[in-house]
């Protein structure tokens, strides 16, 4: 059992480009499944600052219009290379750029429509985040 004393807070970003496609990356940290850029919230950092920093570190993208989507709790999930207890706050955001430079955490990336994304092998949490976005979009229309 890990020596973790408390759940670790983190953020994830569902990033939309100007064409309405979402950014997904494949990571060795999640057994080669497609994920959203994500990471820890650092001490003294706001959640919004963490979203901007994590996205910039992992992709070089600048994001804006950051809106809360949902929260996931992962407890020692086998899909992650580090089996810890995380509380991940997921956000939808936008970027004006498609120029991406990945850091060492990612193997490759793609820009996909939502239907295209669902045809990829996504982590359970990435899939749930996209589904939550779709649900909120439908609620706005209705």
pLDDT recorded at residue 62:
97
Please say if the pLDDT value at position 40 is more than 70. Answer: yes
CATH number at 8-141: 3.90.79.10
Per residue in 82-137, pLDDT tens? Answer: 667 889 999 999 999 988 999 988 889 999 999 999 999 999 999 999 999 999 98
- Beta strands of the chain (E only): which ranges? 8-16, 22-27, 34-35, 38-40, 64-75, 85-94, 106-112
pLDDT recorded at residue 28:
78
**Could you tell me the CA-to-CA distances from 66 to 12, 57, 125, 131 in Å, in that order?**
11, 17, 19, 17
Domain extents in the chain: 8-141
pLDDT recorded at residue 142:
72
Question: What does pTM read for this prediction?
Answer: 0.91
């Amino acid at each position: 059992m890990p020596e973790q004393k408390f759940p670790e807070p983190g953020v994830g970003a569902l990033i939309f480009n100007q064409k309405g496609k979402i950014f997904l990356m494949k990571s060795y940290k999640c057994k080669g499944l497609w994920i959203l850029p994500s990471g820890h919230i650092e001490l003294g950092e706001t959640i919004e600052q963490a979203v901007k920093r994590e996205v910039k570190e992992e992709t070089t993208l600048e994001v804006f219009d950051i809106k809360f989507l949902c929260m996931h709790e992962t407890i020692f999930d086998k899909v992650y290379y580090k089996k810890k207890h995380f509380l991940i706050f997921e956000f939808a955001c936008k970027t004006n750029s498609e120029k991406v430079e990945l850091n060492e955490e990612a193997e490759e990336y793609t820009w996909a429509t939502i239907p295209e994304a669902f045809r990829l092998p996504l982590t359970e949490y990435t899939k749930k985040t996209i589904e939550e976005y779709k649900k909120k979009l439908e609620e706005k229309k209705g």
